Structure 1
Amino acid sequence: MILRTLAVAGLATLIAAAPAQAKPKPVSPPPKSSWSKVDPSLFGMHVSTLSAGKDFPGKLGGVRLWDTGVRWDQIEKQQGQFDWDRLDEAVATAERSGATEIMYVLGSTPEWAAKYVRPDTYYYGGGTASEPAKLSYWRDWVRAVATRYKGRITSYQIWNEANLASFYAPERPKHWKRMALLTDIAADEIRAIDRKAQIVSASSTVIQGKKFASESFFFRYLRSIANRKVKLDAISVHLYPWTTKGPGGGNPSDRLEGLEMARTVVNKVGLSKVPIWDTEVNYGNRRDNGHDEEVFGPKVGSAYLARTYIDSLRYDVTKVFWYAWESQVMGISTTAPVSGNVLMPGTAFFTLEDWLAGARWGTCSDQRVTVCSLKRSGERQYVLFAPLGKTRTVKLPRAKFDVREVCTLDGECERIKARQVRVKQAPVLLVP
């Protein structure tokens, strides 16, 4: 009897000492706002096997044709002799996969056309990172591509990562002015042939340092573009989080810091009305490049991928091209390396497309969790996500949320119980 009394007393002490569980706090829908349709081309991807005629295993909103074996130096190996087979196949396969945005990158320079040849320092060898030795070589090439793919390739990007010496060599002083000239020439040639094709600036990574807004290639190049009065349809950045410690690592919040720095430059040079596109993005690093390796698990990878596209909607980045469907060199993989099976982040890509493409996007409000509103077929739906690394349970007042199910990035949905939802960093969708 004494032992039993002591046991009961001990249990009571434990119960009294246990912290009370926080009662879920209610959230509210975002304030009323205008609604804008989510263009399916927001959901861009790099897919190297398009040039081999391999169909994409789902919806493909947009594609950037890079690292698909279709660079200038791979097509025009000898002056005036073009091997279009792989690019023909890539464009046809992208069309067959439903892509409404097909972007082609106009570089890199064939050795015969290069002013400089640096096989040991240029990323793709030969003269690929060199400016063309003659501007006529560039004009002829741009004219040939635009003529062949008129009405099929929807946008032309001038160069890839022109701020990096391995992709665009800085041998010439003030080489950003030369890139602005190449941009001007390409814009004139393409528009003379295909008025509907969009002209996208040379891309630049955003290396997050104090002088980015005043001394970076990105700033100097765009300033030269503005001075030349080149009409751009989009400004391209690569928002891999890249701090002063180097590329790799980082998270979607770090990406937004890079976006803010890029937007500061765009505004500073007077190009604020030109849309910003993120034409390469991922997180982490598996390259042997002297920087730390960082690989994210499937759950974190799915959350980061989904947050990237949603953040782009929130902060007016109108197109995003994830790098890359089959690639294993970054920290988040969408497919398995040998089998090619779709992994959780790949499934998240397709699920997010299903949620958002073609829907009408409203606005978001940051509460205990972020709540974003959208409409589909006249029904009000909501996307919720917690701060990175956090988990929060929230209450959904019946008078404010006419929803019955919560859906996750694996494509599954379940009934909402007791008007409460547990929300993590991975977005969820609430539906009627």
Structure 2
Amino acid sequence: MKFLSPFLLSISLFSVELPTAAAQNPAPGLTVSAPKGFREVAQLRPRSTKEIKSSTWSIGGETLDRDYTDYQSYRHYLGPLGAKRIRLQGGWSKCEKVKGQYDFAWLDAVIPDAYSRGVSPWVELSYGNPIYPGGGEPKLGGRIPTSEEALTAWDNWVRAMVNRYKNQVTEWEIWNEPDLNKLNTGEEVAVFYIRTAKLVKAIQPNAKLIALGVAGVPATAFMRPFLDHLKKENALDLVDILTYHGYAPNPDTSYPKIEEMRKLVWSYNRSAGRPKITFMQGENGAPSTASAVTIGALRQYDWTELSQAKWDLRRMLADHGRGIATNLFTISDIHYAAGDHMTGVNTKGLLKTNPDKTIERPKLAYKAAQHVFSTFDDQLELLDQAKPTVSQATVSAFQYRQRKNSGSLVTLWSAEARPAETYEPKPTDVTIKGKFDQPVFVDLVSGKVFEIPKNQWKKSGDSYTFTAIPVPDYPVLIADQATLTLIK
């Protein structure tokens, strides 16, 4: 089968990147206060995806299978954003509208293009296809395929997908949030998962298989029968990565439930004598508008572009500080249509859309995400055994080391409540064992870099004490300046 027409190839290889500066123009008036007495000395320089060799960051590109977002409108923002991966949905019902006939033109305009920009697609195989009796539903929370005819057609589509895109896609996620539909039992989904996973592996033996995008955390009632069946069929090794969602108004409260889920999964994994399954946060983000405007998770609260940026930063860096890869949800506002799980605009996008799904402008969260994706790449090593000491019990802190120059970097934020529009920073004393030739304070929302006054830090041996550091309700950094990429 021919993979890509010369015309489409020319588009994907020679499309023009949006200049980085043009991708940094959020709504006016959205600012954060500079710390008092700190002198601004530089600005973080966002790095494009191709400048970053490797990282664990992914950006959401979901719902193209139902035309709720417009890839051609947002694709120019992918490279400047800096995320190395993008989550896409395969869309069986969009590919096969007539039995036995596949139209891959829409995916041919997405997967090779994202790949050419240095953003590796990982593709979710979903949803159902109603042209087949028992074929399931093509929407969030829909039923999986159940009839023999539909399952045979599903098999054929999966084979066609993997054969077509195996040169650009090395990770396949099987379904999304199956636990939303109570008819999808854990055991039944396990049978469906094994069937699909074996099809993928038969064509692409080195592919990574991702289960399961569960909506709830820890989803014990669903996960236990799913794992029981995999264990019974000696199929636990068909899960390389387990993805979960689960939205919390205060993102820092998510982790006890995540740990509960990890313990459950690893109890099966260890009993089978295999390496631990890797966990990845597969979808999370905050809205940017008032409750009356947005739909989807966290819609019961009022949000703005500032509180969205704060929330996203906290979830990303709380994941990263625990060694968990993250998919930030999502690149563009999503326009759900009637007949799906919900109707309206989900405003979790980093890009604000027009009514026709084209892009109006980047939001503040786009700029904040750039700062994280540019800074926290594979050259920054998490030191999970070297915890900073902080004077405030509600302040979260994680420590890193730059691999090339051994410079230290620490993330700090006040974690006690949902991010607010206004927040008085907590003066916090921080003690760190590390290396700071030139310590600076970094605001990850604005990207501004400040000199820390000499009377607010001292060195004793390999230990540094910083006093009265203003810690807001979103992540800031104390960093050795050499660990950062700056515009001075």
State the TM-score, normalized to the length of structure 2. Answer: 0.67
- Does the 8 Å contact 1:295/1:332 carry over to 2? no
Alignment-derived partner of residue 153 in structure 1: 169
- Partner AA of 1:276 in structure 2: F
Say which of 54, 72, 90 aligns to 2:92. Answer: 72
The question of 1:190 aligning with 2:204 is answered no
Aligned length: 366
Alignment-derived partner of residue 383 in structure 1: 410
Identity of aligned residues (%): 17
User: C-alpha offsets along residues 189-243 of structure 1, whole Å, 9 cap, x if unaligned?
Assistant: 11121122211112211256xxx43xx21222122223222221111111323xx
Say which of 233, 249, 264 aligns to 2:240. Answer: 233
Match of 1:129, SS?
coil
- Partner AA of 1:143 in structure 2: R
Report how far residue 407 of structure 1 moved. Answer: 1.9
Report how far residue 149 of structure 1 moved. Answer: 0.8
The question of 1:393 aligning with 2:427 is answered yes
- Partner AA of 1:367 in structure 2: V
- Partner AA of 1:257 in structure 2: P
Report how far residue 42 of structure 1 moved. Answer: 1.9
> In the aligned structure 1, how far is the partner of 2:98 from the partner of 2:389?
56
The 5 A counterparts of 1:40-55 are 40-47=54-61, 48-50=69-71, 54-55=75-76
User: C-alpha offsets along residues 258-302 of structure 1, whole Å, 9 cap, x if unaligned?
Assistant: 312321321343367000111111246665579862133333322
The question of 1:261 aligning with 2:260 is answered yes
Structure 1: gaps spanning 5 or more residues: 1-37, 242-249
Alignment-derived partner of residue 472 in structure 2: 424
- Does the 8 Å contact 2:439/2:452 carry over to 1? yes
Alignment-derived partner of residue 19 in structure 2: none
Which segment drifts farther, 330-339 or 55-64?
330-339
- Does the 8 Å contact 1:234/1:275 carry over to 2? yes
The 5 A counterparts of 1:215-226 are 216-226=221-231
Pick closer, same or farther for the CA change 1:138–1:292 going to 2, 3 Å: closer
User: C-alpha offsets along residues 70-111 of structure 1, whole Å, 9 cap, x if unaligned?
Assistant: 4111111122211101111110221122113x2111111211
Pick closer, same or farther for the CA change 1:207–1:394 going to 2, 3 Å: closer
Match of 2:97, SS?
coil
Pick closer, same or farther for the CA change 1:292–1:87 going to 2, 3 Å: closer
The question of 1:111 aligning with 2:147 is answered no
Say which of 317, 324, 333 aligns to 1:327. Answer: 333
The 5 A counterparts of 1:30-429 are 40-47=54-61, 48-50=69-71, 54-57=75-78, 58=80, 59-66=82-89, 70-100=90-120, 102-115=121-134, 123=139, 129-134=143-148, 135-165=151-181, 170=183, 175-207=185-217, 212-213=219-220, 216-230=221-235, 231-241=238-248, 250-270=249-269, 273-283=276-286, 287-288=294-295, 293-317=300-324, 319-327=325-333, 329-330=345-346, 332-338=348-354, 339-363=359-383, 364-365=387-388, 367-368=390-391, 369=395, 370-388=397-415, 391-394=425-428, 401-409=436-444, 410-420=446-456, 421-429=469-477
- Does the 8 Å contact 1:383/1:427 carry over to 2? no
- Partner AA of 2:58 in structure 1: G
Pick closer, same or farther for the CA change 1:321–1:290 going to 2, 3 Å: closer
- Does the 8 Å contact 1:387/1:424 carry over to 2? yes
State the TM-score, normalized to the length of structure 1. Answer: 0.75
> In the aligned structure 2, how far is the partner of 1:153 from the partner of 1:239?
26
- Partner AA of 2:223 in structure 1: F
- Does the 8 Å contact 1:151/1:194 carry over to 2? no
Pick closer, same or farther for the CA change 1:75–1:290 going to 2, 3 Å: closer
RMSD of Structure 2 on Structure 1 (CA): 3.0
Report how far residue 371 of structure 1 moved. Answer: 4.3
User: C-alpha offsets along residues 159-201 of structure 1, whole Å, 9 cap, x if unaligned?
Assistant: 1100011xxx617xxx322211221122211112112221111
> In the aligned structure 2, how far is the partner of 1:256 from the partner of 1:354?
25
Which segment drifts farther, 39-48 or 345-354?
39-48
Match of 1:407, SS?
strand
> In the aligned structure 2, how far is the partner of 1:42 from the partner of 1:309?
11
> In the aligned structure 1, how far is the partner of 2:433 from the partner of 2:243?
43
- Partner AA of 2:170 in structure 1: T
- Does the 8 Å contact 1:297/1:332 carry over to 2? no
